[in-house]
Amino acid sequence: MKQPENNEIDTLLRGWASNARSRSAKPSENVAGSHLDADELSSYAEGVLPVAARARYTAHLSDCDECRKLVAELTEARPLPAGDQVVTDVNRSWRARLAAFFAPSVLKYAVPSLAVLLIAVVFFATRNKEDVRSVALKTELPVSSSSAPSPFVTSDKGGSPQAATSETSKTVTRTSSSPQGQTSQAQDEDRTRADKKDNEERAKQTADTATAAATDASRRAEADAKHKSPAPAEETVVVAPPAAAAPAPTAKVVANAPKESDAEARDAMAGSRERGGPSKGGPSKGEVASKNAGGRGQDKTETRSLSSLQAGIASNDQQRIVAGRKFRREDGKWIDVTYKSSMAATTVARDSEQFRALVADEPEIEAISKQLSGEVIVVWKGRAYHIK
Amino acid sequence: MSAQPPKIERLISDAAGRLLARADENYSLKSADVTPRLAATLNKYVLRDEPHASEASLVEFLDQLQAGDLCLAIACEGGNSAAWNDLVERYSTTVRSAARSAAGSEDAADDLAQSIWAELHGLRTREDGRPASKLAYYSGRGSFAGWLRAVVAQLAVDQHRKISRLVQTEDDAEFDRIADDTQSVPASRLDPENALTSDSQRRAMEKALASAVAEMEAEDRLLVKLYYFDNLRLREAGAVLGVHEATASRRLTRIHTDLRQRVEQILSSEGNWTKSEIAAAFSEVAMNLHTDFEPLLSD
């Protein structure tokens, strides 16, 4: 059907309705049979009638202006009926939730948002490139001076300088907020700048290897580890990805890893601490950064931003917005964020008359109680209600 | 209560027992107090339309009744003072707010609320000497609060009608005359010949449209009435029909298509209009109407 034709019939209907209204200005001119009684009107408005009875009343309402207006008035006070396409969060299965997450309407906003987020991260990383390099170089020193290079050092050398820089930039991004890290960085700045060119050249020399191994860096690192030694470095490489999401456990794992020497252990600890905790700077920075490099630095930036986004989504399970109100999950209850512990809450059981009276006056509260299962504390018109 | 088949009587009696057990407060009602109400409700909402409904569906229907609300209403109707206290305590706010939204002023709302309480108590006496309370008509299918709102709304309409009847004098006739005059000379019609053609076209099309609407299914007709006659928004009209706004919108689009086809059929078969005449008439009438109703449509 073409839109203009629909518009024409729409206009025609409006005109006809207007004429009909003015012709039957007197009430109840077109009554079809006896009017509905109060019970029928309210049951219809509440949508609780059996299908056949409802159809009978629908036929009456379509012809009786008076009853129709009453039903419309009574329906206005009711929340949206359940059972239609509107699916509440409570009733949705995980499959439906997943589908909703990837729905075009969501992606329409999510994809540009992610793109903007990525651009922001890349921009930030590029902006701090100088600092990053200095940190990377600073951490290179002990590696180069190490007499017994560990497998991850190999993987480090195999990694491209860009990747190492990118990965380290994340470290710096996180540690830059730490005053200790900044101080340490300032102290080492001159030294690291002096070594900067040399290190870059060295990194370029290893770039060929890095390009070949870029896509398979982690596998190679594992392979190296198997062939050379079960060094703690391999442990660190393995645990590195979770470290992005949960820094503290990583530090623990590294600390528990077999130690070749106290110095190495300290390095490993410092490196892992740097990932999550306050940075103190130190030789292991370069190791940790380079271990994870292997040409995947950029990808990791994306992965990390995605994981942080997913963490945000997960935390949304603890928050819900219903009927324009924000609720947080606390002790198994949904609590209105505007609720304060100093407020006296009226306790209302869901099945009680008091509850029905409340929702009859405030239908939104019913919508809230339907969408949020369990105990709910809602602040409504300055009063707090504890719905059980 | 009409005599029920023994099978249904037993079914109702069992349901009455369950209902009393389900209610938070049953005011010491007996099964016999509740049974007649259940039977009446079952007849009204199920057996009238489906005389051979399955037992399971009858049981399901009865078990879905609002047990607490129904016990309260029946106990109040029976004169239980504890029930009346509960009724006033729980629902005076509901009656008050419903009266306030139905009446034009605070005074009118007070009067309306008083009338409601009088109706609930029962102004007249029944054959058995007990007051004929409106509470006897609460079935327990919907909420008691919703029923009270409906009672208030109906009473407001009744009172308004009575007042209108008193006020209605020869002014009405004068008003009708003015309205007819206004209708017969639309401001946008300056050319009498064109106006005549256009008016006859419009009348023919409106007649065909009315026939087409009358032929529609009740649910679709109700949507048309709610949307075009009562000026409800799609969201509100959808709520009356128990569907979401988007569903109502899709349904309305389909109705437009169906109506257009049906009107074209009627004009073609009954008025012998050609396709081009129909198309031209549609666009012309719609254009003229659009001009007439432009201020309204722009709202």
Scored b (16 or more CB within 10 A) or e, B147-184 reads: bbbbbbbbbbbebeeeeeeeeeeeeeeeeeeeeeeeee
- Chain position carrying tokens 């100093």: A342
- What value of ipTM does the predicted structure carry? 0.85
The amino acid that residue A4 corresponds to is P
- With H, G, I as helix, E, B as strand and everything else as coil, classify residue B44: helix
Q: Is B167 on the interface with A (CB under 8 A)?
A: no
d(CA A324, CA A364): 10
Q: Is the pLDDT confidence value at B98 over 50?
A: yes
**Cβ contact (<8 Å) for B48 and A20?**
no
Distance CA A87, CA A82 (A): 8
Each domain of chain B, given as residue ranges in start order, spans 6-72, 187-294
Chain B residue numbers with beta carbons less than 8 Å from the beta carbon of A86 are: 244
Please state, for a pLDDT cut of 70, what percent of chain A lies above it: 40
First to last CA, chain A: 51
Q: Structure tokens of A261? A: 């020497």
3-state secondary structure of B299: coil
Closest alpha carbon to B238 in A65, A325, A365, A83: A83
DSSP string, A246-294: -HHHHHHHHHHS--S-HHHHHHHHHHHHHHHS-----THHHHHHHHTTT
**Whether B142 and A48 lie within 8 Å, measured CB to CB:** yes
How far is A238 from A226, CA to CA, in rounded Å? Answer: 13
H-assigned helices in A128-229: 129-145, 151-158, 161-175, 179-205, 207-213, 217-227
**With contacts defined as CB-CB under 8 Å, which chain A residues touch B97?**
361
Nearest chain B residue to A60 by CA distance is B218
Count of A-B CB contacts under 8 Å: 222
Options 2.40.128.120, 1.10.10.10, 1.10.300.10, 2.70.210.12; CATH for B187-294 is 1.10.10.10
Alpha-carbon gap, residue A9 to B256, rounded angstroms: 6
| B120/A contact by beta carbon, under 8 A | no
């390099």: which residue's tokens? Answer: A133
**Chain B residues within an 8 Å CB radius of A80:** 239, 244
Q: Indicate the residue of A7, A19, A43 with minimum beta-carbon distance to B142.
A: A43
Q: Which helix (H) or strand (E) holds B222?
A: helix B218-224
The whole-angstrom distance between residue A211's C-alpha and the CA centroid of its chain comes to 34
How far apart are alpha carbons B137 and B124 in whole angstroms? Answer: 15
For the stretch A181-204, pLDDT in tens is 444 444 444 444 544 544 555 544
Q: The pTM is what?
A: 0.52
Query: Could you tell me which residue, B243 or A299, shows the higher pLDDT?
Result: B243
Gap from B150 CA to chain A (nearest CA, Å): 5
Greater confidence, A5 or B158?
Answer: B158
Return the residue of A nearest to B210 by Cα: A16
- For A28, phi and psi rounded to 5 degrees? 60, 35
Tokens of A85: 């396409």
**CA angle, corner A367, sides to A366 and A373, nearest 5?**
85
Question: For B111-130, what is each residue's pLDDT tens digit?
Answer: 889 989 998 988 777 777 77
pLDDT in tens, A268-321: 444 433 343 333 333 344 343 344 444 444 444 444 444 544 444 444 567 888
Residue A169: closest CA among A127, A116, A211, A118:
A127
Contacts with A, B 168-187, CB within 8 Å: 179, 183
**pLDDT at residue B290, as a whole number:** 62
B148 CA to centre of own chain: 15
Confirm or reject contact between B46 and chain A (CB < 8 A).
yes
Chain A contact for B290 (CB, 8 A cutoff) = yes
pLDDT digits (tens, 9 = 90+) for A307-360: 544 444 444 567 888 878 888 888 888 888 888 888 888 888 887 878 888 888
Which residue of chain A is at minimal alpha-carbon distance from B42?
A50
Mean pLDDT of the B6-21 span: 92
Tokens linked to A369: 């109680």
**pLDDT reading at A367 higher than 60:** yes
d(CA A280, CA A181): 5
Which residue type, as a one-letter code, is found at position A50? P
What residues contact A367, with CB distance under 8 A and at least 6 apart? A79, A80, A322, A323
